């Protein structure tokens, strides 16, 4: 699996031609960005732009003032040695060095300098000869998509995927400056859903004073940010889409704050004790309407719900008919009983989790299926050992969806009649076959032939599709003889509806 960690949580300061053709001014910009990097302790990069102007511009247009961009490129020209110096200063300041090469010669310069990442500009995103050279570098690549349709972006994604490149895609609106009403930030949602295996970023050209766009972008799940930066002086003014150091500082501060606001540690919602205490103070407790003797059964007509709810008191949400009193209660006493955990409540909890995983994976089952809870050591141990098996079709061929809960393992077994192929659709899955373990990523296939001993497990939860020959009852033979001795009804719960 490609490691794209260098591309994640990256903030890029785009220098472009802001150095104005002055090495000293370029160094000053880099050092300003270095201060911001250290202030917020961020992973950042400074991005340069490379063009071999003698080849990039047609010889007849090299000194023309009436052709757009040519005068700016020529007047801000730096030598190879000067760019080498800028790269060294970027690294000395603790930042990642990136460049956008606009021609093949400039890709070679990126390699000669050992740049960490290569950036593809929106105008080059379908320059296939250039992209071919960039892909061969095997450097991490970031591609801006300003002006590209979704179909075009699909082409770019497939181009770099087929070449097994480590890359990211940036949502971008190539208007300079870009009006707020044209930013289309909802398109980030589509990119993240469509290209789930790569980082998605945002390259902005909006008003430099705007702090709403980075906030919304973080909330949308953007992992890479890029903005043009510069350093105004008495003789140098910035364009309408470049940020000065003070604006850049505020932009980074906004991103960092938004990241803190949005972060969910380990993808698990954290619930603070303050939150628990606050909600508990508003919950209703269970109180008895009459005298209750120890051992008596409590039903709904015997109790009422009211606040406050004391520590250890049963809440209205925990009460069920049939609760057995473990002590004597006087009229209006608070009820201190512990909710009994039954197999039924465990099954309900498991089903809710499984349905949630299907929702998150975007998998719709349809109306016709059968659910089997395979609990080899009983429902009380189901979250550690077991699996949820959803049978969709069982004819001469069979299709099932297997749901493995987080931290769950299925014990070693084999089949005498069934051959099966697994394809991981969602999550992480480890499969052990005849003692050899393999970790699957979404999309990976694994065939298990008759007689092969196998087991599977997941750390964060998994859903995989099983395509097999006809499923035959009692065709699972377990290495643990205790499981084999159980009647199938003791280790399986069949549900026709959930």
Cα(135)–Cα(120) distance, integer angstroms: 11
Mark whether 24 and 94 lie in a shared domain. Answer: yes
| Domain end (from 238, 263, 288) | 263
- The CATH number that applies at residue 243 is 3.20.20.70
**Does residue 323 share a domain with residue 348?**
no
Arithmetic mean of pLDDT, 181-186:
96
Q: Which of 281, 315, 340 is the last residue of a domain?
A: 340
Q: If you search the block for the tokens 């500009």, which residue do you land on?
A: 121
Is residue 476 within 8 Å of residue 415, measured between CB atoms?
yes
Burial of 293 (0-12, 13-18, 19+ CB in 10 A): exposed
Does 482 lie in the same domain as 388? yes
Whole-number pLDDT of residue 58:
85
pLDDT value of position 343:
82
**231, 25 Cβ separation under 8 angstroms:** yes
404 in the same domain as 289: no
**114 and 197 housed in the same domain:** yes
- Same domain for 285 and 386: no
Strands, E assignment, 338-419: 370-374, 387-394, 397-404, 409-415
Residues 287 and 415 in one domain: no
Rounded CA separation 257/369 (Å):
46
- In the predicted structure, residue 310 carries a pLDDT above the cut 60: yes
Q: Give the closest residue to 80 by CA, choosing from 112, 55, 56.
A: 112
- Position with higher pLDDT, 76 vs 190: 190
- Cβ pair 419, 391 in contact under 8 A: no
The beta strands (E) that lie in 102-195 are given as 117-120, 141-144, 167-172
CB neighbourhood size of 66 (10 A): 7
Are residues 28 and 124 both part of a single domain? Answer: yes
The answer to whether residues 14 and 163 belong to one domain is yes
Domain identity same for 42 and 182: yes
Q: At what angle do helices 150-162 and 128-136 cross, to 10 degrees?
A: 30
Question: Global pTM?
Answer: 0.83
Domain edge (last residue) among 340, 371, 406:
340
Summarize pLDDT for 361-409 with one digit per residue, the tens.
Answer: 999 998 889 999 999 998 889 999 999 999 999 999 999 999 999 999 9
Q: How many other C-beta atoms lie within 10 A of the C-beta of residue 156? A: 19
Distance between CA atoms of 61 and 343, rounded to whole angstroms?
Answer: 80
**Is 225 within 8 Å of 240 (Cβ atoms)?**
no
pLDDT digits (tens, 9 = 90+) for 321-356: 999 999 999 999 999 999 888 888 889 899 999 999
Structural domains counted in the chain: 3
ω before 403 within 30° of 0 (cis)? no
Could you give the 3-state DSSP secondary structure of residue 471? coil
Q: Domain containing 150: what range?
A: 5-263
Same domain, residue pair 336 and 373: no
Q: Which CATH number fits the domain that encloses residue 458?
A: 2.60.120.10
**Does the structure show a pLDDT above 90 at 115?**
yes
Phi, psi for 167 (deg, rounded to 5): -145, 165
Looking at the chain, the whole-number percentage of residues with pLDDT higher than 90 is 84
């Amino acid at each position: 699996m490609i490691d794209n960690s260098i591309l994640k949580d990256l903030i890029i300061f785009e220098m472009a031609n802001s150095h104005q053709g002055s090495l000293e001014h370029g160094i000053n910009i880099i050092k300003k960005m270095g201060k911001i990097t250290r202030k917020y302790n961020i992973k950042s990069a400074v991005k340069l732009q490379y063009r071999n102007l003698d080849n990039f511009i047609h010889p007849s247009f090299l000194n023309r003032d009436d052709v757009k961009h040519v005068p700016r490129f020529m007047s801000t020209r730096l030598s190879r040695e000067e760019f080498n110096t800028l790269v060294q200063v970027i690294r000395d300041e603790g930042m990642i060095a990136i460049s956008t090469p606009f021609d093949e010669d400039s890709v070679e310069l990126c390699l000669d300098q050992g740049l960490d990442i290569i950036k593809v500009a929106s105008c080059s995103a379908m320059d296939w000869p250039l992209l071919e050279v960039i892909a061969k570098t095997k450097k991490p690549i970031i591609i801006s998509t300003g002006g590209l349709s979704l179909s075009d972006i699909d082409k770019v994604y497939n181009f770099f995927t087929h070449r097994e490149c480590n890359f990211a895609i940036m949502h971008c609106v190539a208007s300079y400056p870009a009006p707020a009403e044209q930013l289309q930030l909802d398109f980030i949602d589509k990119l993240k859903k469509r290209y789930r295996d790569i980082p998605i970023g945002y390259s902005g050209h909006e008003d430099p004073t705007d702090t709403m766009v980075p906030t919304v972008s973080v909330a949308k799940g953007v992992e890479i940010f890029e903005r043009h930066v510069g350093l105004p002086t008495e003789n140098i003014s910035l364009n309408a889409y470049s940020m000065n150091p003070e604006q850049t500082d505020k932009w980074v501060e906004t991103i960092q704050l938004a990241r803190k606001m949005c972060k969910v540690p380990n993808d698990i919602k954290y619930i603070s004790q303050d939150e628990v205490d606050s909600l508990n103070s508003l919950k209703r407790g269970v109180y008895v309407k009459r005298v209750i003797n120890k051992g008596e059964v409590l039903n709904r007509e015997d109790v009422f719900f009211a606040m406050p709810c004391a520590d250890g008191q049963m809440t209205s949400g925990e009460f069920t008919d049939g609760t057995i009193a473990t002590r004597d209660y006087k009229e209006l006493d608070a009820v201190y009983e512990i909710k009994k955990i039954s197999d039924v409540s465990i099954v309900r909890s498991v089903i809710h989790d499984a349905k949630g995983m299907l929702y998150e994976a975007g998998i719709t089952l349809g109306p016709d299926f059968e659910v089997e809870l395979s609990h080899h050591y009983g429902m009380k141990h189901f979250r550690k050992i077991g699996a949820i098996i959803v049978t969709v079709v069982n004819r001469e061929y069979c299709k099932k969806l297997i749901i493995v809960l987080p931290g769950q393992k299925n014990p070693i077994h084999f089949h005498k009649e069934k051959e099966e192929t697994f394809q991981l659709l969602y999550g992480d899955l480890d499969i052990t076959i005849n003692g050899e373990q393999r970790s699957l990523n979404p999309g990976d296939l694994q065939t298990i032939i008759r007689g092969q001993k196998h087991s599977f497990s997941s750390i964060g939860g998994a859903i995989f599709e099983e395509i097999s020959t006809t499923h035959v009852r009692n065709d699972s033979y377990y290495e643990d003889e205790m499981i084999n001795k159980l009647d199938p009804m003791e280790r399986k719960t069949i549900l026709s509806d959930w």
